[in-house]
Amino acid sequence: MTEIDILIKNLKPPVFRFIIIKSIQTEQAISLVKKKIKENLPNKKSIVLKTEGKNYRELMDFVYANAKNIILIQDFDKLANNKDVSIGFNQRRDKLADLNLAILAFVPDNNGVQDIMNNLPDLWSFRSSIIEFEFEPLQEKKKAEKTGELDSDITYIEHNTAKKEYKTIIKRIKDLDIIDENLPLLNASYIRLFDTCYSLGRYKEGLDFTKKLYDIAVKFDYEEKIPALYSDILDWLGKFYYELGEYNKAINYFEKALNINIKAFGEKHPNTAKSLNNIGIAWRALGEYKKAINYYNKALNINIKVFGEEHPDTAKSLNNIGIALRVLGEYEKAINYYNKAETIYIKFLGKKHPNTKLVRNNIKNCKKNNYEKRCPKFFA
């Protein structure tokens, strides 16, 4: 799946999305994105917004006026560095999340990504994904002189495979000294590398790389300076330990991430819910299903408060509770949670989405278990 495919997939559900797009060639990236939105989402309108010279009130009026559209903010790096605007934008996170709005934040480089982490931490926590575009140069000047115009089509260079991206990122990291001015690029490169290792199933290597960034984070005091990124690093340590079967170590790091998120963002925040959910998953792997349900319920309550009762994150919590209840033999309760999750997923993601199919399969298996429990003689 290419970067543009990932972007379009993220834009389809009618929920709030905050997507960071990194490209040094902003105008070309915007042209490509607008073209693909028109082709794949004909009912959606893409609108470009330039923030330079506009105050906070003007920007928010524009956002609310276009709440049903896809807003492409072409100079989001300038917004992130304008304190009068960024503080208000960050504080409006919950209000924005109530809208079926997509904000595409264009930044030229990793410094722009870092500025969003630092200056808009609450909005950063709502990000759906980070997309990176690279382009070939435009056609040679000779062709332009001959035809009188440049080709309007833009050739997009995609990452051919996760393996190729893995090698590219490794080389980039090796070429960088660990100094202040290189930290934004190092941070973004490592986070991308973790994703790549996870996709490739290279959990041991991913863990080793995560430990390296963790050492950098400790040295440069990310806990105080960039708590959102610091909690992400702790989460990745937990994820890799989980995949390696070291569940107690995973819980240790998930709990550390939880404490950072509560301290930095409060108890009713999506980052906090994510940590609680991760802890629940690890306890479930250890067979501690009641403990898992306790953490899932806490995550569910936060997701309902932040996103509402009908949201994919809420559905995720409902499904996880259902899984734990099923293992405990409480099949009817489990089916009730599964049904709620399925209804939400169908509404937001459609009947054919993998999450919807997963929950539907959970319901099928749980109904079979419930029948076996009530009619054991047929399964003796």
Say if residue 374's pLDDT is above 60: no
pLDDT at 235: 95
**CA-to-CA distance for 323 and 333, rounded, in angstroms?**
10
Q: Tell me the average pLDDT of the chain.
A: 84
Tokens of 231: 């909690």
- pLDDT tens track for 207-216: 999 999 999 9
d(CA 131, CA 183): 19
pLDDT for res 371: 60
The helix-helix angle for 312-327 and 270-285 (nearest 10°) equals: 20
pLDDT tens readout for residues 90-122: 777 777 877 778 999 999 877 788 888 888 887
Please give the pLDDT value at position 346. Answer: 93
pLDDT on residue 240: 94
Which tokens is 3 given? 């970067």
The residue among 113 and 360 whose pLDDT is bigger is 360
pLDDT band at 1 (very low <50, low <70, confident <90, very high): low
Mean pLDDT, residues 370-378 = 52
CA distances from 338 to 222, 303, 320, 323, 331 (A): 39, 16, 9, 8, 10
Question: Is the predicted pLDDT of residue 155 greater than 60, yes or no?
Answer: no
Most confident of 147-156, 160-169, 195-204, 253-262: 253-262
User: Considering the chain, what percentage of its residues have pLDDT values greater than 90?
Assistant: 43
Q: What is the value of pTM for the model shown?
A: 0.64
Q: What is the mean pLDDT of residues 271-286?
A: 92
Q: How confident is the model at residue 76 (pLDDT cuts 50, 70, 90)?
A: very high
For the cut 50, the answer to whether the pLDDT of residue 157 exceeds it is no
Q: Over 50: is that where the pLDDT of 161 sits? A: yes
Alpha-carbon Rg for the chain, nearest whole angstrom, is 23
Distances (CA, A) of 97 to 80, 117, 308, 343: 18, 18, 10, 20
Q: Which of 3.40.50.300, 3.40.50.2300, 3.30.2130.10, 3.40.190.290 would CATH assign to domain 1-139+152-157?
A: 3.40.50.300
Give the strand pairing for 156-157 and 134-135. antiparallel
Q: What pLDDT does 170 receive? A: 92
pLDDT tops 80 at residue 143: no
When mean pLDDT is compared over 1-15, 89-103, 177-191, the highest value belongs to 177-191
What pLDDT score does 178 carry?
94
